[in-house]
Amino acid sequence: MSLTEYTGRKRVRIGALALVVLIVGGAGLTVRSGIALDRLFTAGFATRSVEMATPIALAAIGGLYAEKSGVFNIGLEGFMIFGAFSAAASMYALGGTSPTQGQVWLAVAVSAVISTLITVAFAVLLIRYEADQIVAGLAVWFIGLGFAPFTAAIIWGSRSSPGLASVNSVAFGQSPFVILTVLIVLASWVVLYRTRYGYWVQAAGENPEALDTAGVDVTRVRYATVIFSGAMAGLGGAVLLAHAGNFVGIGDTMVEGRGWIGIVAYLFGNYNPIGAAGAALLFGALDMLNVQFQTVGIEVSARLVNLLPYVAVIIVLSAWGKTRMPSSVGESYESED
């Protein structure tokens, strides 16, 4: 075992230990303050956590594919804003302030299509015009932060939408989009690790020259993954909106960093779709802890509890930062012929 590998593993252990200490410590505190844990960790909490995790998981799956193929799509957060906003706008266009369930579904679909189209333009800039991936990705975020509230203000006269409609839950009180997300996660795992196409994606990131030699167009693979990543992030934003039922465009918008957390989720999951979804679940649960604290009556400022996911992201990144990144990430590839 090399030294870097050793320190890497040690860091993982330290990180895991820190998380465990955090959880046990938190649990201990709650028990000592006389609050039963079973009141804190309820079935409703599980449902809400899963629901909150789905947008993060969707964005993470998309980002994972793009990065596996060698393109760092740092614009996930921006695409989520586009997705959430265009879902709200199309829901409003279809059914005003009281859209039907069918219109909610249609709006989510329209939003995914719009996000895909925007991502096509982004992919062209990134791959054809060799845009700087970091700066262009940040730009997508800034554009979303500007134009989504701008268009909202034109449509609704305010940066946020009026109440629209949220999707009805199906079996076990779960949103149908949760089930859809589970299916997408499983499918993307199968495609990535069990199909020829998945190997192309991995090869485009690890060894593009070899893939090129084998007669596969690296550029086309990368176009496909980048467009997929934007579509997934957009769908994630649309699902976030379909769960919330209205668009919020003040401050960092309703997406509030979930796209960035999505990036961390797939890093934490070591580029494995199922691992990424698991990490998303952790962040979703932390996000919903606030509601639990309130119902149980723990007197902590909601504003501080809301910061927990961000703190967890920093801990996770520092402990797991050294993930096995595909070796050609960030380099544009030009075929010799």
Partner 1 sequence: MSGDDDGLRGALDRAAAYMLDATVLERIGIAIASTALALCIGLLIVAAAGHNPLLFANQLVIGSFGSERAVARTLTFSVLFVLAGIAVAIAFRAGVFNIGVQGQFIVGGFATVASIVSLAPYLPDGTVGGIVLMLVGTLAAVVAGGLYAALPGVLKAYGDANEIITTIMLNFIAIGFVGWLVAGRFSDPEATATRTERLPDNVGFPSVVFDDPNLSIVGIGATIAVVALIAVIMTRTSFGYDMVTSGHQESAATYSGVDAKRMIVSTMTLSGMVAGLTGAIFAIMIQGYFTDPSGIGNYGFDAIAVSLLAANNPVGVVPAGLLFGGLESAGSHIQINSDVPVQLIDGIVGLVVLFVAVPELFRMMAQRTGLGGDRE
CA atoms within 13 A on the CB side of 171: 3
Q: Which of residues 192-211 bind partner 1 (CB under 8 A)?
A: none
Q: Which of residues 122-161 bind partner 1 (CB under 8 A)?
A: 125, 129-136, 138-147, 149-150, 153-154, 159
Among 42, 101, 301, 335, binds partner 1 (CB under 8 A): 301
Q: Which residues contact 34 (CB under 8 A, 6 or more apart)?
A: none
Cβ of residue 119: shortest distance to partner 1, in angstroms?
Answer: 13
| Stretch in the footprint of partner 1 (CB under 8 A) among 98-106, 194-202, 216-224, 325-333 | 325-333
Q: Which of residues 262-291 bind partner 1 (CB under 8 A)?
A: 263-264, 267
- Contact characters 62-101, partner 1, x per CB under 8 A: ----------x-x---------------------------
Minimum CB distance to partner 1 smaller for 167 or for 201: 201
- Residue 321, interface with partner 1 (CB under 8 A)? yes
Minimum CB distance to partner 1 smaller for 18 or for 113: 18
Among 257, 274, 296, 298, binds partner 1 (CB under 8 A): 257
88: closest CA among 246, 259, 236, 244?
A: 246
How many Cβ atoms are within 10 Å of 35's Cβ, its own excluded? 15
Cβ of residue 275: shortest distance to partner 1, in angstroms?
Answer: 17
Distance CA 127, CA 280 (A): 28
Three-state SS across 202-238?
HHHHHCHHHHHHCCCCHHHHHHHHHHHHHHHHHHHHH
Among 21, 24, 183, 304, binds partner 1 (CB under 8 A): 304
Burial class (CB in 10 A: 0-12, 13-18, 19+), 25: exposed
Cβ of residue 149: shortest distance to partner 1, in angstroms?
Answer: 4
| Stretch in the footprint of partner 1 (CB under 8 A) among 84-92, 179-187, 231-239, 318-326 | 318-326
- Residue 169, interface with partner 1 (CB under 8 A)? no
Distance CA 253, CA 82 (A): 11
Q: Where are the alpha helices (DSSP H) in the chain?
A: 3-32, 37-40, 43-68, 76-95, 101-123, 133-156, 176-194, 196-206, 208-213, 218-244, 258-268, 273-296, 302-305, 308-320
- Residue 251, interface with partner 1 (CB under 8 A)? yes
Burial class (CB in 10 A: 0-12, 13-18, 19+), 175: buried
Cβ of residue 38: shortest distance to partner 1, in angstroms?
Answer: 29
Q: Tell me, what DSSP letter sits at residue 124?
A: I
Total binding residues for partner 1 by CB under 8 A?
53
Among 11, 166, 219, 245, binds partner 1 (CB under 8 A): 11
66: closest CA among 188, 184, 180?
A: 188
175: closest CA among 231, 112, 107, 105?
A: 105
- Which residues contact partner 1 by CB under 8 A? 11, 72, 74, 125, 129-136, 138-147, 149-150, 153-154, 159, 251-252, 256-257, 260, 263-264, 267, 301, 303-304, 306-307, 310-311, 313-314, 317-319, 321-322, 325, 329-331
